[in-house]
Amino acid sequence: MSFLDHIENCNRYNLTNFVPLNMGNRRVGWVKRPLIPYFAAFPDVVQCDIDDIKINPTLDTPAVLTEAMSRIGNALTESGFTSPWRHEPYAVGTRFGECLFELERAVVPAFGTRAYGLHLTGFVRDEANFLIWVPRRTLDRLTYPGELDNTVAGGQPAQLSLAENLEKECAEEAGLPSELVRQARPVGTISYHLEIEHGLRDDLIFSYDLELPTDFRPRNCDGEVEDFQLWPADQVMSVIESTDRFKFNCNLVLIDFFIRHGLIKPSHSDYTQLCRGLNS
């Protein structure tokens, strides 16, 4: 296990296993070939060819498209190709902020559309050292139970702005009041492509740093977190470098934190590959 392994673990995919999901001349997703028949069962919604799936151009409003796609999504779920619905609509577009239609979060990987999220690293400084607030996910979480997580992390639903979502997630996951959240600094993005059994995760995470007062204690409010611990950055680095204890994509956000703050240095043998690999 190494820092670079985490980046490679998030970027395992073979696009020849997929066909593009196209809307006009724009690709909006990737569909795994074995799922094509399940899309083809909706000829009023998509036209499936050997090399691509074309969205019916007569479905020309976001509302109509959203309804049509939800029928395909339902069928995929009934056939066992997605996780249970979370009733969180995600925006689908060719860039952030565009919403051609909405898609239930659970079916996003089956459509291979880009999913956005946000992560916040809450830290305190003790002289020259950084300490990071690390939550552990509850053992009854549907996804990644018991794994270590970033201080705050959440998906980006279609209806909220990034700033609204940041405030909501910070309140729910760490009890952060809005006056502290407003001091959070956006510091860039992390992205990766990961092939899963029935789809592709094309994920882009907006990353934030937040230096917290030394007397602040995060407090989980939505039951997703077992406990928070304040770890010296060195300890976080060593756990990431040697284990899989953090939820898979948190490793990348934290590696980026270490690079931006000079804790992983150019003398590290994988430095240039790490820097280039964080936005793949």
Positions touching a second copy (CB under 8 A) are 95-97, 162, 185-189, 191, 204, 206, 259-262, 265-267, 269, 271-273, 275-276, 278-279
> DSSP label at 148?
B
Residue 161 or 178 having the CB closest to a second copy: 161
CB of 69 to a second copy, least distance (A): 23
> DSSP label at 35?
G
CB of 168 to a second copy, least distance (A): 16
Angle in degrees, 0-180, between the axes of helices 233-242 and 250-260, rounded to the nearest 10: 130
Residue 87 or 265 having the CB closest to a second copy: 265
CA atoms within 13 A of residue 2's CA, in its CB half-sphere: 10
Distant-in-sequence, close-in-space partners of 220: CB < 8 Å, separation ≥ 6: 135, 172, 173, 174, 175, 228
Q: What tokens appear for 181 in the block?
A: 């959240």
Residue 64 or 204 having the CB closest to a second copy: 204
CB of 161 to a second copy, least distance (A): 8
CB of 184 to a second copy, least distance (A): 8
Q: Alpha-carbon distance 48 to 58, whole Å? A: 16
Q: Alpha-carbon distance 147 to 138, whole Å? A: 8
Please provide the size of the chain in residues.
280
CB of 86 to a second copy, least distance (A): 23
Residue 168 or 245 having the CB closest to a second copy: 168
Residue 76 or 118 having the CB closest to a second copy: 118
